[in-house]
Amino acid sequence: MLCQAGAAWVALGTLRFVWTRVRAKGRSFTPEMLGMVLGHLGIAVFLVGALLVEAQNVLREVPMLPGETQTIGRYAFRFDGVERVQGPNYIADRGHVQVFRDGRPLALLHPEKRAYASVGQVMTDAGIDAGVTADVFVALGEPLGGDTWAVRLHIKPFVRWIWAGALLMALGGFVTATDRRFRRAPGEARRDPGARPAGSGGAD
């Protein structure tokens, strides 16, 4: 809770600076100021994502029969069975899982368990629905006999905010670097502040 309050404090302080700058007559945003604003907003967004994904992350592995539904918070997962499919260089068991949020269809996911004959390796390919407020992952585990499968259900809220915050901070650094005060004009000589101008020979 303390860290979330810190994220809100950074965001609100940054927005207050923007508001006072906009209201002040005759004052404009330099690239340095705009970069600072973007960087601070990126910090706030990153903190929100990092904190909420840790606090609200949910992972369950449950046995499911075709037609069975598992509910996790606002989300419901209906397992519609598994079919055998042939890939370009593998054979896979492909699951069909309908995801609902607040009772409304959200996505139809197709997690796979692939067997590669060339290397004798079995790999899991999760079904993913990416969203602004949460990413939903579904993965097939092992068959448990009959039509029952172990199914892994994973909800990671606000995980995209971590990447969005990092991108905002990077964008802020790029915008700041475009400020002319941080760039030297082409061909401009580096001058020693204590040096004499050219052609001013003579002793003191």
187 pLDDT higher than 70: no
- Amino acid letter, 170: A
Mean pLDDT of 2-29: 71
| CA angle in degrees (0–180, nearest 5) for 50-52-56 | 130
The residues pairing with 104 across neighbouring beta strands, listed in sequence order, are 101
Chain-centre distance of CA 118, in angstroms? 35
- Amino acid letter, 37: V
Q: 83: how many CB neighbours lie within 10 A of its CB?
A: 11
58 pLDDT higher than 80: yes
Confidence at 95, pLDDT banded by 50, 70, 90:
very high
Backbone angles phi, psi at 43, to 5 degrees: -60, -45
* Best-predicted range by mean pLDDT (7-16, 38-47, 187-196): 38-47
Q: Which residue has the higher pLDDT, 33 or 94?
A: 94
Query: Of the ranges 47-51, 70-74, 158-162, which one carries the lowest mean pLDDT score?
Result: 47-51
Residues 75, 156: Cα–Cα separation, whole Å: 12
Residues 46, 58: Cα–Cα separation, whole Å: 20
Contact 116, 123 (CB under 8 A): yes
Residues 39, 176: Cα–Cα separation, whole Å: 10
Q: Report which secondary-structure segment, H or E, holds 52.
A: helix 31-56
Mean pLDDT of 181-201: 53
| CA angle in degrees (0–180, nearest 5) for 59-65-71 | 40
Check the CA dihedral 148-150-155-159 and report its sign: negative
Chain-centre distance of CA 95, in angstroms? 26
- Amino acid letter, 87: G
* DSSP state, residue 5: H
